[in-house]
Amino acid sequence: MKYCFFICFSIVLGFAACKKEGCTDKDATNTTAGADKDDGSCTYQSTVVFWHTNTTKSVLNSHGTTALIYFLDGTQLGSSDPNVVFSSAPDCSQSTAFVRSIAYDESPTKVLNFEVKSQTGQLEFSGAITFLNGECVPQELTY
């Protein structure tokens, strides 16, 4: 009887041990090769490009804005010159645009809040951006 119990226990344990945990989403940036049980560790990446037109530049200049400082969920991303304008949304390879790569977890889609402030800390723009894994998300700044 003990021998039979030991064999059954070993078989059950063997099947449980065969499950390799990791990121099973093939679209994630960190897919675990051979994983067959998702452990919630998947990470994703998207890119955002902030831009504005000449009309917005004129309003910024009338406010005395000499720099735009970008925040995403409270984290400062960097700054740019408000005099750099575009007539339409630039793509994420545009070197003169404010472009940042964003890494996130939990899901291939993520909504993050942004703020853009002037050099004096005055809030100029805010809102939410929906990121989709692997995509370039253009965010126009407009009054």
Range of the domain at 48: 43-140
Same domain, 50 and 33: no
% of the chain exceeding 90 in pLDDT: 82
Q: Is residue 18 very low, low, confident or very high in pLDDT (cuts 50, 70, 90)?
A: low
Q: Does residue 11 sit in the same domain as residue 81?
A: no
* Residues 4-26, mean pLDDT to the nearest whole number: 67
Region 5-17: mean pLDDT is 53
Report how far Cα 120 is from the mean position of its chain's Cα atoms. 27
Query: How many other CB atoms are found less than 10 A from the CB of residue 63?
Result: 14
- Segment 5-25 shows an average pLDDT of 66
Q: Are 42 and 23 in contact (CB under 8 A)?
A: yes
Q: How far apart are CA 109 and CA 11, in angstroms?
A: 40
Q: What's the CA gap between 58 and 50, in Å, rounded?
A: 17
Q: 10 pLDDT exceeds 70?
A: no
Q: What is the pLDDT of residues 84-100, one digit of tens each?
A: 999 999 999 999 999 99
For 132-142, how does the pLDDT look when each residue is reduced to its tens digit (9 = 90+)? 999 999 999 99
Residue 82 or 40, more confident: 82
Pair 28, 48 in one domain? no
Say if CB 131 and CB 109 are below 8 A apart: yes
How many distinct structural domains can be found in the chain?
A: 2
